[in-house]
Amino acid sequence: MSIALSELSTGTSIGSSTIEISRADLVRYAGASGDFNPIHWNERFAREVQLPGVIAHGMFTMGAAVQLVSDWTGDPGAVIDYQTRFTRPVLVEDLDGAPGAVVEVAGAIGAIDVDNSTARVDLTVTFNGQKVLVKAQAVVRIW
């Protein structure tokens, strides 16, 4: 996709996506990231440490959410900065390989910096109608 900075305006939507997460996805992410904390795969352990159940890795959620921006730009290398705050866990139920959680992501242009050829994309990331990431912002370079 070819994006012209001059065609963007603050508030313009870049689209939305739905992320379906299964327990199997968490196991694959644990293997790739090396994060084998049992709160991400062991129901009993998660409850023992006062969680409502198995939760998705925060970095998994963060990374899955920014995919919307990468898809919009057509170039993952265009994302030059990405930051967020984690506010709520994403509870992933055990549904025999079916999605145990659904995260919704929407993006909009939050700011444009013509001098640096960048745009800031603000992401709204929700699970069960509640924000799980706040101040989720990706800065993209647009040539």
133 pLDDT more than 60:
yes
Nearest to 23 by CA among 44, 43, 41: 41
pLDDT class for 96, splitting at 50, 70, 90?
A: confident
What pLDDT score does 2 carry? 79
Instruction: Give pLDDT tens digits for 11-40.
Output: 999 999 999 999 999 999 999 999 999 999
What pLDDT score does 102 carry? 98
pLDDT class for 143, splitting at 50, 70, 90?
A: confident
Distance CA(80)–CA(108), nearest Å, equals 17
Range of the domain at 24: 5-141
85 pLDDT more than 90:
yes
CB 142 within 8 A of CB 75: no
CATH of the domain at 79: 3.10.129.10
1 pLDDT more than 70:
no
Mean pLDDT of all residues in 90-114: 94
What pLDDT score does 38 carry? 97
Mean pLDDT of all residues in 58-82: 97
Count: domains in the chain: 1
